[in-house]
Chain A
Amino acid sequence: MVTIQNLHKKFGQNKVLSGLNLDIKEGGIFAVLGPNGSGKTTLIKAILGMVIPDKGTIHLFEKNIKNQSAYRNNIDYLPQIANFPSNLKVKELIKMIKDLRGRAANDNQLIKQFKLEPYLDKKLGNLSGGTKQKVNIVLTFMFNSPLIILDEPTSGLDPISLLRLKDLIQTEKANGKTILITSHIMSFVEEVSDEIVFLLEGQIYFKGTINELKTKTNQPNFEHAIASILTENHA
Chain B
Amino acid sequence: MLKILKYSFYDLMRSRWNYVYFVFYFLLGMVLLFLNNDISKAVITLMNIIIVLVPLIGTIFGVMYYYNSKEFTELLLAQPLKRSSIFLGQYLGVALSLSMSLILGLGIPFLFYGLFKSNAIWNFSLLIITGSFLTFIFTALAFNIALSNENKIKGFGYAILVWLLLAIIYDGVFLMSLILFEDYPLDKFSLIGTMLNPIDLSRTLILLKLDISALLGYTGAVFKQFFGTNFGLMVSFIMLTFWVIFPVFRMVYKSKRKDF
Give me the interface of A with B, judged by CB distance under 8 Å. Answer: 11, 45, 48-52, 67, 69-73, 75, 77, 79, 83-88, 96-97, 99-101
Contacts and interface: CB of A to CB of B under 8 A. Distances in A.
Given A50-B260, A87-B14, A69 B74 contact: no
Contacts of B182: none
Nearest to B256: A67
B11 interface: yes
- Contact-residue bracket for chain B: 20 to 34
A214 to B, nearest CB: 35
Contacts, number: 60
A158 to B, nearest CB: 24
B181 interface: no
Interface in B62-77: 69-72, 74-77
A72 B260 CA distance: 16
Interface string B1-44: 00100010001001100000000000000000000000000000
A71 B260 contact: no
A77 B80 contact: no
Q: Chain B: interface secondary structure?
A: helix
Contacts of B119: none
Given A85-B11, A87-B15, A52 B3 contact: no
Nearest to B70: A83
Contacts of B117: none
> Of residues B75, B77, B83, which shows the largest number of chain A Cβ atoms within 10 Å of its Cβ?
B75
A45 B80 contact: no
A75 B7 CA distance: 22
Contacts of A69: 80-83
Nearest to A86: B71
B215 interface: no
Nearest to B82: A69
A48 B83 CA distance: 12
A97 B79 CA distance: 8
Interface string B143-171: 00000000000000000000000000000
Contacts of A101: 79-80
Q: Which 5 residue pairs across A and B have the least CB separation, nearest first?
A: A83-B71, A72-B80, A73-B80, A85-B72, A51-B259
Contact of B75 (A11, A52, A84): A84
